[in-house]
Amino acid sequence: MDLVPAPSGETPVKTPVVEVEAVDLAEQVNAETVALEEASSDYETDSDDSENWELMSNGDNTIQILRDEQLHDGLVPGACTLEEAIAYRKRLHDIGKAAFVEETIARETVTAKKLCTAFGIVPPAFLEGAPDEAFHPLLAIAISREFSRRPKLPQYNSIDDAVKLLREAKNIIVLTGAGISTSLGIPDFRSKDTGLYSKLAHLGLSDPQEVFDIHVFREDPSIFFSIAKDILPTEKKFSPTHGFIKLLQDKGKLLTNYTQNIDNIEANAGVLPENIVQCHGSFATATCVKCQHKVNGDAIFNEIKEGIIPECTVCRKRIAEEGLKPQGLKRKRSTNGQQKDRKEFEDSSDEDDYEIPTPGVMKPDITFFGEDLPDEFGQRLIHRDRELADLVIVIGTSLKVAPVAEVPGILPRNVPQIYISRTPVSHTGFDIDMLGDCDVVVSELCRRAGWDLQHQMIPVDEKVEVTPVEGYESRHVFKAIGA
């Protein structure tokens, strides 16, 4: 997805929220069918195939994404070593796609099959025994995907570098996800055993993400409201990581907090509304799907916590008032947002095709899959923050939902980027990875920066052990000990 500002002045990031874990490889391959030697001119463009992040499929065949940890451990026979992969990636970014193809494939210094592994693709079983040319379309995708990815800035590697960046930065973009709220008992979405999606089998959905699909909501809002209470904050509290964002604000360093979270906990910490972009909306307000009446989220929280579908009071009042009027013609059947089966209408008699209208459902103003992000997201990012930011900190998100996941890639590549979460990501090149509980990482960073981050969840005598990850100069693991 191209997030470069459109010439027409339109905001290209105003696109529906989508999951980017799976795409159709056949569609990609059809666009890259020319052999690499004959298509070098195509590689002069900075095309973006970043949607191939997690899984690519070709019919019934599956292409697995290869992670750096697997290269480091030598788990794939015939693959590049991690050192070779890093060198190939650096060379690609240094000389460009056309020259790289000439230097490797055209000169036959390495096979396309092996080179695929350098860019994170396991040679697929359905191509086993095929001539090396059969891997060219797949390699074309891999090269374009890597070339569109922001390369790491080599001068930033250590924790001291991160602390120095924090102290010197004046306009910090903080991009946050569900990981900053898990210490408050609010589940994230994708953790294998504890995430929200792992607990939705009882709903009978083909994909657990459908619980946040706008089309599913319109058909049956009860599916969403059956789990909404599990992601709704029950108390006005916040985590140390939320407190860290507030501290950046207090020091005049916070440019914008782009949050993917819908819990609105940033407000509990005191982050000002003008410093927050709720990328996926929040429970702070709700709107009737019928009459568009808007209320504060507090007005429907009790119903949500009880698993009840909240109905619009304005609709209810209007229906009551109209019920007192003399009845003329029968009223056409009306629904509260749930869709009825067309055949049900066709089979019903005229007498049955009328009923007392029902109030509209109060939908929390969160952005579902299939809905556009708020206008403020693209406008602020492209037309203001992109030019002002001097540091990016991504905290508690696996960056798997577009277009927010593409924010790091559209910012100027010379702006340093720090990643804080429990596990690393492989589809975006951060300068420093700090792995561990978000609260532990930010508290230690503040400690080293000489900042006073006070929070009741941070033990007074907390000690944090920081361990470098073997094979990664800029990756570090944080672990609280002796607290």
**CA 82 to each of CA 72, 75, 431, 435: distance values in angstroms, whole numbers, following the listed order:** 5, 11, 17, 20
Question: Six-digit token pair at 76?
Answer: 């794939």
Q: How, if at all, do strands 432-435 and 417-421 pair?
A: parallel
Q: Which residues are annotated as a binding site for Zn(2+)?
A: 288, 291, 312, 315
Handedness of CA 346, 349, 350, 356 (dihedral sign): negative
Give the chain's radius of gyration (CA, Å): 25
Binding residues, as ranges, are: 288, 291, 312, 315
Q: Which of 280, 427, 455, 476 is catalytic?
A: 280
Q: 5 preceded by cis ω (within 30°)?
A: no
State how far the Cα of 461 lies from the Cα of 473, in Å rounded to an integer.
29
Among residues 307, 171, 177, which one has the least CA distance to residue 241?
177
- Amino acid sitting at position 20: V
280 among known catalytic residues? yes
Nearest to 196 by CA among 220, 221, 229: 229
CA separation for the pair 405, 422 (Å, rounded): 17
C-alpha to C-alpha distance for 47 and 406, rounded to whole angstroms: 14
Token pair 């119903």 is found at: 303
Chain position carrying tokens 């709704």: 232
The catalytic site residues sit at 280
